[in-house]
């Protein structure tokens, strides 16, 4: 019995039903998560480039788009235990170029940018109430890293009864082992997985 069979035998890995209105959440595609000298590497740049046409598709359909950034105060006063584990996170202040959304995915006027201090885009932010106010019941997730902020956002999305879909070629990680392992696990327990080429079916 292979790994997939184990989950199938336990009735996992099924499809989540399609939502009525889907928002795109672009998680932490900021300069620092593309740069291998900061938090990037692996397939993060390729994933960001693959997100460009996806972003345009959502914009063309007038569907909500939300970007996230990790942003800490200059004096570190809002840095929590996560920053003990990953001290360089403290460098992601508002004035640091590393904390800003990459130019190829630059938010337009009127598009929401969520600032966060934890992995999940939902934790201690207004994202959930914002989406409900826009009559959104499903989210498509792109961003970095697959094993970190993407996964945390997906788990919190389904916990809040949003229907999550991970766009597999639009999420990246600094190491491919964690990337693949977390895609597998999210498929089994927390999200639908599609490629950017299958996006029309998701949004139709």
Give residue 90's Cα distance to chain centre: 20
**Which residues does 184 contact at the CB level (< 8 Å), separation at least 6?**
3
CA distances, 62 to each of 45, 58, 65 (Å): 26, 6, 9
CA distances, 94 to each of 48, 59, 75, 117, 119 (Å): 21, 26, 11, 12, 17
Q: Is residue 149 flagged as an active site residue?
A: yes
3-state secondary structure of 84: helix
Q: Which of 149, 150, 152, 199 is catalytic?
A: 149
Measure the CA–CA gap between 68 and 152, rounded to whole angstroms: 13
Which residue from 78, 73, 67 is spatially nearest to 24, judged by alpha carbons? 67
Active site residues: 149
């Amino acid at each position: 019995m292979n790994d997939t069979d184990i989950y199938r035998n336990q009735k996992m890995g099924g499809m989540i039903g399609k939502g009525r209105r889907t928002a795109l959440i672009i998680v932490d595609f900021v300069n620092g998560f593309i740069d291998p000298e900061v938090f990037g590497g692996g397939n993060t740049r390729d994933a960001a480039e693959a997100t460009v046409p996806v972003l345009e598709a959502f914009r063309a359909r007038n569907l909500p788009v939300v970007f996230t950034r990790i942003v800490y105060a200059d004096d570190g006063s809002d840095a929590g235990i996560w920053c003990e584990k990953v001290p360089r996170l403290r460098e992601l202040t508002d004035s640091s170029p590393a904390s800003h959304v990459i130019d190829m995915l630059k938010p337009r006027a009127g598009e929401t940018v969520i600032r966060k201090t934890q992995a999940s885009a939902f934790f201690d932010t207004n994202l959930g109430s914002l989406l409900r106010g826009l009559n959104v019941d499903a989210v498509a997730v792109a961003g970095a890293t697959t094993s970190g902020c993407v996964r945390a956002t997906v788990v919190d999305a389904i916990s809040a009864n949003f229907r999550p879909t991970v766009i597999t070629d639009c999420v990246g990680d600094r190491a491919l082992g964690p990337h693949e392992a977390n895609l597998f696990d999210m498929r089994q327990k927390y999200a639908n997985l599609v490629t950017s080429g299958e996006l029309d079916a998701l949004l139709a």
